[in-house]
């Protein structure tokens, strides 16, 4: 998969699924999917047409608060019914593949290189951790943090980690070094009969 830049994260490619223009995937969108039965898009697993319709309804909303008010106004049920009418036989898999790509690109952040001692295991979900980190380190108010795109949050936290000397952002040079190391290891093993010295 293409490794996006922080600037691509700020202005991602637009996606249109079932004729609906999606907004950049935010922490709020991810949290809403987790809350209303679309967790398969975030955590993996089998997603069907119901999850696709929910995903489109959620990810086309302008903000977390707007979606929340739409829930209580009954708009979401109507919106999902409207979307269901647009699905034609044979269409759904293509649209689900497109939505999967939208989620993958929306959650694409930099690969990080941490020192083993710097890693802390947490039990909170990654979306929750990002939300709290943004509020803590960047002082983003709770009213705004849910509207931050996931990929932007990942890049911001990665940049902060690098600036604080906690980790380094993995680059193309690191990929090249890894390939060279693997090639050297393969050659050494072949020369030494597969023994691990």
The residue ranking higher by pLDDT, 141 or 113, is 141
21 belongs to a structural domain: yes
- Say how many C-beta atoms besides its own lie within 10 A of residue 73's C-beta: 10
Most confident listed range (31-45, 84-98, 113-127) = 31-45
Question: No. of H helices and E strands in the chain?
Answer: 11, 4
Question: Nearest to residue 49, comparing CAs of 23, 71, 57?
Answer: 57
Query: Quick one: pLDDT at residue 89?
Result: 62
Element (H, E) at 97: helix 91-106
Q: Is residue 36 part of a domain?
A: yes
Would residue 40 count as lying in a domain?
Answer: yes
- Residue 151: inside a domain: yes
pLDDT-derived band at 27, boundaries 50, 70, 90 = very high
Task: Give domain status of residue 35, yes or no.
Answer: yes
Q: How many domains does the chain have?
A: 1
Rounded mean pLDDT of the chain?
A: 86
Residues 6+ apart with CB under 8 A from 33: 39, 41, 42, 54, 55, 58, 59
2 φ, ψ to 5°?
-60, 130
Residue 25 to residue 109: CA distance in whole angstroms: 12
For residue 90, the model assigns a pLDDT of 65
**Six token digits for residue 38:** 């679309």
What confidence category does residue 146 fall into, taking pLDDT thresholds of 50, 70 and 90?
A: very high
User: Is 115 within the bounds of a domain?
Assistant: yes
Q: What is the pLDDT of residue 118?
A: 54
Asked whether residue 119 is domain-assigned, the answer is yes
Boundaries of domain holding 135: 1-171
- What does the alpha-carbon distance between residue 163 and residue 83 come to, in Å, rounded to a whole number? 45
Decide if 129 is inside a domain: yes
């Amino acid at each position: 998969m293409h490794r996006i830049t922080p600037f691509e994260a700020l202005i991602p490619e637009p996606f249109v699924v079932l004729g609906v223009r999606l907004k950049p995937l935010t922490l709020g969108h991810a949290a809403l999917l987790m809350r209303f039965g679309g967790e398969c898009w975030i955590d993996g697993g089998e997603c069907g047409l119901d999850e696709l319709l929910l995903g489109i309804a959620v990810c086309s909303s302008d903000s977390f608060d707007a979606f929340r008010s739409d829930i209580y106004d009954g708009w979401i049920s109507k919106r999902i019914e409207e979307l269901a009418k647009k699905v034609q036989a044979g269409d759904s898999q293509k649209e689900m593949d497109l939505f999967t790509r939208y989620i993958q690109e929306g959650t694409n952040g930099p690969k990080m290189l941490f020192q083993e001692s710097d890693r802390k295991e947490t039990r909170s979900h990654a979306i929750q951790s990002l939300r709290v980190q943004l509020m803590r380190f960047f002082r983003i108010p709770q009213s705004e943090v849910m509207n931050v795109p996931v990929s932007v949050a990942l890049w911001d936290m990665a940049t902060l980690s690098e600036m604080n000397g906690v980790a380094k952002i993995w680059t193309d040079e690191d990929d090249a070094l890894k390939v060279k190391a693997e090639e050297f290891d393969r050659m050494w093993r072949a020369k030494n009969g597969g023994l691990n010295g």
